[in-house]
Amino acid sequence: MKSKYIHLVANLICGLALCFNQSVEASSLPIDLKENPNVTIIGNGLGSRMQHFGFFETSLYSTQPAANIRFRNLCDDGNTAGFRPHSARDNPFAFEGAQSFHPPLSEQKDRWGSGHTGKGTFKSPDSWLTELKTDTLIAFFGYNEAFSEEAGIHNFKGEVSAFLKHTKSQRYNGKSAPEIVLVSPIAFDPSTQPSADIDAASYNKYLELYTKALKEVSEIEEVAFIDIFSPSKKWFHEAPETLTLNGFQLNKDGYKKLSQELSTRLTGQNIKLDSTTTKKIHTAVLDKNWLWNNYYKIPNGVHVFGRRHRPFGPKNYPFELQKLKEMLDNRDQAITALAQKKRFDLKTADAQTSPLAEVKTNFKTSRKNGSKTYLYGEDALKKFSLPEGFKIELFASEKEFPNLANPCQMSFDSKGRLWVSTMPSYPHYKVTDEKPNDKILIYEDTNNDGKADKEIVFADQLQLPTGFEITHKGVYVSQGSNLLLLEDTDNDDKADKRTVILSGFDDHDTHHAISSFSQDPFGNILMSEGTFLHSNVETAYGVQRSSNGGFWRFNPSTQKLDRLARVSIPNPWGITFNVWGQGLFLDTSDPNARWLTPASIKVPYGYFAPLPANLVEKNQRVRPTSGLEFVSSRHFPSYMQGDYLLNNVIGFRGTKQHTLEDGSVGFTSKHRQDLVSSDDTNYRPVDLEFAPDGSLFIVDWHNVLIGHMQHSARDPLRDHKHGRIYRVTHKSLPLVKPSKIDGATIAKLLENLKLPEYRTRYRTRTELRKFDSTKVNSALMSWLKKFKTNDSKYDNYLLEALLVTCSSDHPNLKIHNLAMESNNFNLRCVAVRALAQTPLEFNNLQQILNKAAKDPHGRVRLEALVVASRLSNRVDLNVILGQLPNDDICEDAQLSPVIATLRTLASNQTITSKKEKIKVPKHLKGKDIARFAKGHEVYHREAHCATCHQEDGEGLPAAMFPPLTRTKWVLEDQERLIKLVIHGLHGPITIKDKQYPGLVPMSGFKALTDQEIADVLTFVRNSFGNKASSVSPALVKKVRAYTSDQEGFYAPEELLIQHPHKK
């Protein structure tokens, strides 16, 4: 719990804060809620997670039935008194001056100008408190701050004091300052700590210190204070059953005790929560909390009040929010009526709330667009094209299994069964709909005919499970802002235990939320996260923060979470590893495949790591991509082994195959072939994985509409019923005999590690983690000794032994040393990376990394730098950098940006983004120069022009996105060009003698100002080899006015009638 930053200004501000008080009446306990009924809680995860249990509110309503309480929860994981970031708020600080208590925010921007703060119209903390007319404010602070130990205590006091002074000066209810209650953190519970590496006694020492600090500040500022640390420490010692999940998070019973303690201290009254009335109140509270969460923390908020609000958001979200607000008021009345033992007709009251706006589809039928007519069976299969020798079959569809609606991700278990997550509630819950009932399903082919004949619902009532992974601990599932663990405790293939392990992940854009889960070679779960999002996740090791895209890494055994990679990418959706444990990932929208290792250096919060080079050939780039898998199956031809496959859901609609070859440090890649493609315009392949029998399975989302800027989230044509699973096999090669994994002995599982199939070894390693690691490590050494070192496969067996032992708490150091001393650089790479898995097990980290930094192979040197950046509290990064050969900086494109970034960090300098030098064409003069420069910025904004037409204006022909270079559409009629930018374009179009089907519309950009449209069109008409007159804001204004009645997109043929091409 070391402090990273010590602010010299903190002592001064703290002193000033503690010396002066406003003449506001002191808050004291108990508080008269009849006089102060509007109760709001703010603060960190301890308060935020209360909403899932509802006991505190139930206690308040039950003990104060006459108070007409209105309770609202504004807490969020990672919040402090002054720092409360949000994806749709451009200022993360809660009050003026709060920034002085926190490290300066990075000014680094991503490629679209997205910085460290959010963007949108989400209200400030004070605005929310004013809207809620807050009378009583309960604040939970101290847990996250305590990780700064003694060094941060003065800063903490200063921040809380400044917060109290500010808050006491406010009149949220319009009359008086709020009654304020500070609540301490709870103690840390050693009985459930997730790792032996955690020093619970040290944690509690600092939590107690910060509790005392809160008490001191509360006394000086004359506000009420509730010490929860002391009683909770006693609970954890005396309770017959555990009250926490992982040391710092309370479970259901823990929250019940906390709620009763808080309620008693706050009101002076105590009540048991097991009466018939309190149970009814509790049920009603949970119902209200569900709606409140979908109001205050509405999923997909990027379309509600974020940067993607326009063009569709204004048409429906104001009405949805208003209805939610009215329904919340109804539930307040219903709960109060229950407490007062009166009647309230909630159903009638809800029926009288404001109606929702009708949303009409903007879909236009054309011969090549997605079709409202869905194909089935042989009609769908006839649309596929595959190389000679391959065939594709339907394994399962919504016709035989109605639950298979909008499948998203897949995985096979140790029994060889297919697991699939489905998301019919996508893109997110709409008020008046039934609560989401997304599922995780298990499919079996019991008669081995290549088709599913049995379905098991493992879990239902889920909400947007965009990612899941089967582990030795259970099934981890993405649930919006939560990471959920599903367990089957009685082995009936039904999840009977659900635990929110971590919370605070952002779902501001639901298709950017943590997704496409995959285990790395050591068994950590990697989770993709897209741009726009600001996640702040509280863990047993401290709060983990990130913004604007990258990958999370979660260790199921220790519950340790860290940001594996934070790079400037839009929306990664696919990650996998090759035979030597080297990872590739897809950044879906660009679209590129990139090498993971260079992106994995650790950078401070708010900074970006260098972006690895794209591997996909330019003429084979298709967007968007989703799903990534290496070919590793004896059922597929030998020439394909080691190639990687990626899916595309628009334009190409299929699976492309690319080679992966070693370069000097990184990799090179070439397109091999198109493995699967379909002319069914509703075919949307989103995931793929090799099955235990060596066949390839592909998940088909199957939807007429796709895209978020092109169609409203509430477009009635968004399908919520269809979904397919396809199976690709080779006609002449035998299937692989599945190896026994489930229920196998350690000896049998170790033999599985010799098999060629990556996915068999992947599932075998997962199964081995269920065993006692001491027994596995002992067996590993005996197993490895059976092989001769000159065996052609010895390095592969040593690799597997290394991966298994290094996924345990106490790896076999002999095996690790064998790998470190191997002549195979691939083995040395993995051995170096393993150091970061269990660093406490190695007492000579500095020496090992010094040696690795001098390794003859650049890839090993790179691994050393990545590990050193992650263990900078244990090793001297400067010393390791000093071991590098002098030519590394200038000679290798992969190493040099990593080294430059680490040298900057090691010298405590600020990482800065290189400002792109805009080359203005010489023929532009005067105002057109500034217009061109501003247009460059608009063009490169996320989800604007460059996303589809690319930075060079050449488009993505393979994905059917047309170029902007020297085309009549760009260079000729200005009014025609302005029309399609304002209103969008949908349908087939011919550009430079090439037909483009227009499968996905070009979004209209009505939200841009007249000046912005003029600027970006001036830029486009004078870039990429183009040369044409500039566009004026006056002309844009004119066209906008006379086309104001235009509904939906223009069709290309429609515009050509109005504005024909010049001959």
Three-state secondary structure of 786-849 = CCCCCCCCHHHHHHHHHHHHCCCCCCCHHHHHHHHCCCCHHHHHHHHHHCCCCHHHCCCHHHHH
**Residues linked to residue 994 through DSSP beta bridges, in sequence order:** 991
644-648 and 534-539 strand pairing: unpaired
For residue 739, the 8-state DSSP code is: P
**Contacts of 683 by beta carbon, 8 Å cutoff, 6+ apart:** 380, 383, 653, 654, 700, 702
For the chain (1063 residues), the mean pLDDT of every run of 10, in chain order, is 42 39 63 94 98 96 94 98 94 95 78 74 97 98 97 97 98 97 98 94 98 98 97 96 97 96 94 89 97 96 91 94 98 96 97 96 64 93 98 98 98 98 96 96 97 98 97 97 98 97 95 95 96 94 91 97 91 94 90 94 89 92 91 98 95 95 94 97 96 98 86 93 98 97 98 98 98 95 95 97 95 96 98 95 95 95 96 93 76 82 82 70 90 90 81 82 91 94 89 81 87 95 93 95 90 93 86
Q: State residue 893's pLDDT score.
A: 78
- Helix, strand and coil content of the chain, in percent to the nearest 5, comes to 35, 20, 50
| Distance separating alpha carbons of residues 754 and 738, to the nearest angstrom | 14
- CATH fold group of domain 927-1058: Cytochrome Bc1 Complex; Chain D, domain 2 (1.10.760)
Contact call for residues 336 and 69 (beta carbons, < 8 A): yes
Side-chain-side CA neighbours of residue 39 (13 Å): 23
**Residues linked to residue 563 through DSSP beta bridges, in sequence order:** 552
| Distance separating alpha carbons of residues 55 and 273, to the nearest angstrom | 8
Q: What is the DSSP string of 331-372?
A: HHHHHHHHHTT----HHHHHHTSPPPPP--------TTS--S
Side-chain-side CA neighbours of residue 254 (13 Å): 28
Q: Which of 688, 657, 653 lies closest to 670, judged by CA?
A: 657
**Contacts of 182 by beta carbon, 8 Å cutoff, 6+ apart:** 139, 141, 160, 214, 217, 218, 223, 224, 225, 226
Whose structure tokens read 């603060």?
Answer: 43
User: Which pLDDT tens digit goes with each residue over 437-465?
Assistant: 999 999 999 999 999 999 999 999 999 99
Q: Give CA 386 to chain center in angstroms.
A: 34
**Contacts of 812 by beta carbon, 8 Å cutoff, 6+ apart:** 777, 780, 781, 801, 805
Burial of 823 (0-12, 13-18, 19+ CB in 10 A): exposed
Q: State residue 114's pLDDT score.
A: 64
Side-chain-side CA neighbours of residue 600 (13 Å): 25
- List phi, psi (to 5°) of 345: -90, 90
The class that CATH gives domain 26-276 is alpha beta
| Distance separating alpha carbons of residues 846 and 874, to the nearest angstrom | 8
| Distance separating alpha carbons of residues 420 and 443, to the nearest angstrom | 8
CATH of domain 377-730: 2.120.10.30
**Contacts of 1040 by beta carbon, 8 Å cutoff, 6+ apart:** 978, 982, 1006, 1010
C-alpha to C-alpha distances, 125 to 74, 130, 341, nearest whole angstrom: 8, 9, 35
- List phi, psi (to 5°) of 317: -70, -35
3-state class (DSSP) for residue 525: strand
3-state class (DSSP) for residue 76: coil
Topology match between the domains 26-276 and 927-1058: no
pTM of the model: 0.92
Helices (H), ranges, 993-1032: 1010-1020
**Torsion of the alpha carbons at 926, 929, 931 and 935, rounded to the nearest 10:** 170
**Residues linked to residue 625 through DSSP beta bridges, in sequence order:** 648
Q: State residue 650's pLDDT score.
A: 86
Q: Which of 457, 454, 452, 425 lies closest to 441, judged by CA?
A: 457
Start-to-end Cα distance in the chain: 72
Q: State residue 104's pLDDT score.
A: 81
Burial of 166 (0-12, 13-18, 19+ CB in 10 A): middle
- List phi, psi (to 5°) of 301: -60, -20
Q: State residue 1036's pLDDT score.
A: 95
C-alpha to C-alpha distances, 644 to 63, 389, 583, nearest whole angstrom: 62, 19, 11
Q: Give CA 21 to chain center in angstroms.
A: 43
**Which tokens in the block code for residue 766?**
């997962």
In what order do the strands lie in the sheet containing 685-690?
390-397, 724-730, 696-700, 685-690
| Distance separating alpha carbons of residues 788 and 804, to the nearest angstrom | 20
CA angle 132, 134, 140 (to 5 degrees): 110
Number of H helices, E strands in the chain: 31, 35
Contact call for residues 605 and 647 (beta carbons, < 8 A): no
Taking phi first (over 0 means left), then psi (-120 to 50 degrees means alpha), and beta for anything else, what does residue 762 get? alpha
Contact call for residues 729 and 390 (beta carbons, < 8 A): yes
Q: Give CA 465 to chain center in angstroms.
A: 12
Q: State residue 6's pLDDT score.
A: 40
Burial of 786 (0-12, 13-18, 19+ CB in 10 A): exposed
Q: What residues does each domain of the chain span?
A: 26-276, 377-730, 760-906, 927-1058
Does an H or E element contain 645, and which? strand 644-648
Q: State residue 943's pLDDT score.
A: 73
Q: State residue 948's pLDDT score.
A: 83
Contact call for residues 500 and 484 (beta carbons, < 8 A): yes
Q: State residue 386's pLDDT score.
A: 98
Amino acid 419 reads W
